[in-house]
Amino acid sequence: MVTQQFCLWLAAIIFIILFIGYVFWYDHKEYIDESHWRILFEKAGLGKEIYNIKHDNDSWHFKGKNTCVGFSDQNVDCPYYENYCAGNNETYGSYEQQIAEIKVAIKNKGIHPDCPLIYEGGS
């Protein structure tokens, strides 16, 4: 006979497994499918590359790799030791500045050449 305590332990174990799966395997990045982003990226001269660009809470990604270009609201203070900060290395910069630096990163095999950290594939 299965006890209530056993069922609670089993439910807790399943919950922990699902939580770990969510944290480690779920892609927490967002595509730039909103129209205002597309307009800005197209205005900057990006075409098919747009479909490979995502962002998370603090950086832009291209083809699944961190570009090292910081992502945030415009002109908010930026941790220059973690990301390349498009706003004169002090703020995240405007969206247009961030997009210009993403273009630099794409031309440099997906990693910004002035990245303060060493990412996979970076120089």
pLDDT digits 0-9 by tens, 21-33: 655 655 556 667 6
Where do the structural domains in the chain lie, given as residue ranges?
A: 30-107
Positions of the chain with pLDDT under 70: 1, 20-31, 33-34, 118-123
Quick count: other Cβ atoms within 10 Å of Cβ 52? Answer: 16
pLDDT score at 1: 62
pLDDT at 122: 44
Q: What is the pLDDT of residue 44?
A: 93
